[in-house]
Every structure is written in C-alpha cells, then in structure tokens.
Amino acid sequence: MTDLSGNLFAVEPRLSPQAGPLYLQLKRWIEDAVQRGLVKPGQALPSERDLASQADVSRVTVRKAVQHLVRDGLLVQRHGSGTFVAQQAPRVEQSLSQLTSFTEDMARRGMSVRSVWLERGLYPPSPEETLTLGLSAGEEVARIARLRLSGDTPLAIERATLASTILPDPEAIENSLYAHLARRNNRPVRAIQRIRAVNLGAEDARLLEVPAGAASLSIERLSYLASGRVIEFTRSMYRGDAYDFVAELRLSGQIQSGTR
C-alpha cells in the first residue's frame, strides 16, 4: 500500500464553515485531487486520522465524505487494508446500427477480451424461453452466462439462452459465442435490442466491481437467423460508467422531401 498523503495534499484543503457542509467540501476536494491525477486509480488514500488532521475537520466529517465517494464509485474500501481510488473502466462506444459481438467490439478498439464463465449447460426451458425462442415440446435450451472483461476491468455480465438444436455443445465455445455460431453457419444476421437504465443489485454489482445500486444499462437482445428464426435471447448488464451506445439518426424520407 502506498501512502500518498504527499501527493493528495499538493493542493491544501481550505474548508470553511461558511461554504456549506464540511463533508461536501472535503468530498469535492478529494474528487478534484483524483481528477487532477494527484492520486491515481488503485492508490491508497491517507488514513482517516491523517485526513482529519490535514483538513482540520473531525473524523466523522472525513468518514461521511469517504462514504459518499464510495457510494459514487470513486473510492473503494477494502476491509482491513484501507480506502483506494477505484479503477476507472475504459469508456467504450458501441454502435447501435451494427450487429457485432463483444469480442469484435473490443478487438476493433485494440482492447483485450476475457470472459469468466458463470454458467453454461443444457437445461429444460422456462415458459418465457419456450415462447421467446419458439421451442417445440421437450426441446432443451443452452444457457451461457459470462462476466466480460477487458484486461482486469469487468465491463458487462451477459446471460444468453439459445435452443439446444442451435447450440448443443455450450462447453465447446472458446472465446466468442458468435464465432462459434459462425463456424456452424448459425451466426445471427439481425437483432432487436432493448436498453433500459437500472440500478445494479448486490450480486451483479459485486461481479462488476462497482457499488451496489450503481447505474447500469440493462440490455435485452433478440437475434435472428436469415430465415427469420430467433436464435439468441440475451440479457446483459453493462456498466453505466463504461458504455456509450451511439446511434446515427437520419431525417426520415417523408420529412426530407417536404423540406426545401
């Protein structure tokens, strides 16, 4: 653990009781120090006692400022070892007009891809899966759930379901589901995606290494084969601090022809 009080205090915390709640002033001062790079992601903050004496405030005030910064995701507390500046996820732009896979999205940006398997196997389908995938009676589904990372930074959790006739061997997937499907001429050619803002539950937040309740994008993708058959139903949780979904919009033909 590195003690960075020297760097952190490069700009003196000048807090004044006239300028609003002291914990908020201290919070802003720490945010500013992180933004300026005086303390870097992964580095430790000075102890509560040192912060209190340098900023000339009570330890209760320091604790409150730190708690708020932990809740905002700027700091992380590790039991027994202290408070650290959180690792920031790289921001990734994903086009909403191209049907690409996670592996392709990352490769295009020169970013490495890694997956941690959370689940994979064949199961009897739920009524929702039977309906969504148009399964026949007695047909099983392949479920695969993965934590997707770039380097050591978790970016998304993806839980996909496919008909077992399409994916009879989920264990055979190496890195990319779409590459696996392409080898069997079953790569989807079209998809409908629904994106919603949600706050992460405790378990997903733990996997994505963000505070419980952090902002996230919940995405459902229904993918189709050229024949029109639904091939994949995936529910994903993308870190809200890591993803920008970008869509190109054009003026509709009707309006355009009426415009001079």
- Burial label for 239, CB within 10 Å (0-12, 13-18, 19+), is buried
Under the binding rule (CB under 6 A), the answer on residue 176 touching ligand 16G is yes
Q: Which of 103, 153, 186, 199 is the binder for ligand 16G (CB under 6 A)? A: 103
Question: Rule CB under 6 A: which of 82-101 touch ligand 16G?
Answer: 101
Q: Which of 102, 166, 210, 211 is the binder for ligand 16G (CB under 6 A)? A: 102
Residue 129 CB, nearest approach to ligand 16G (Å): 15
Closest CB to ligand 16G among residues 25, 236: 236
Closest CB to ligand 16G among residues 34, 156: 156
The closest of 73, 71, 58 to 26, measured between CA atoms, is 58
Residue 88 CB, nearest approach to ligand 16G (Å): 21
b/e per residue, 86-114, with b = 16+ CB within 10 A?
Answer: beebeebebeeeebebbbebbeeeeeebe
- Helix 22-35 vs helix 48-55: crossing angle, to nearest 10: 110
Residue 113 CB, nearest approach to ligand 16G (Å): 7
Under the binding rule (CB under 6 A), the answer on residue 178 touching ligand 16G is yes
Structure tokens of 133?
Answer: 């995938």
Q: Could you give the CA distance from residue 48 to residue 51 in angstroms, rounded to a whole number?
A: 5
Q: Show the binding pattern over residues 226-245: x = contacts ligand 16G (CB under 6 A), - = does not.
A: ------x-x-x---------
- Burial label for 85, CB within 10 Å (0-12, 13-18, 19+), is buried
Q: Show the binding pattern over residues 136-175: x = contacts ligand 16G (CB under 6 A), - = does not.
A: ----------------------x-x---------------
- Burial label for 195, CB within 10 Å (0-12, 13-18, 19+), is middle
Q: Could you give the CA distance from residue 258 to residue 154 in angstroms, rounded to a whole number?
A: 48
Under the binding rule (CB under 6 A), the answer on residue 132 touching ligand 16G is no
Binding site for ligand 16G (CB under 6 A): 101-103, 158, 160, 176-179, 219, 221, 232, 234, 236
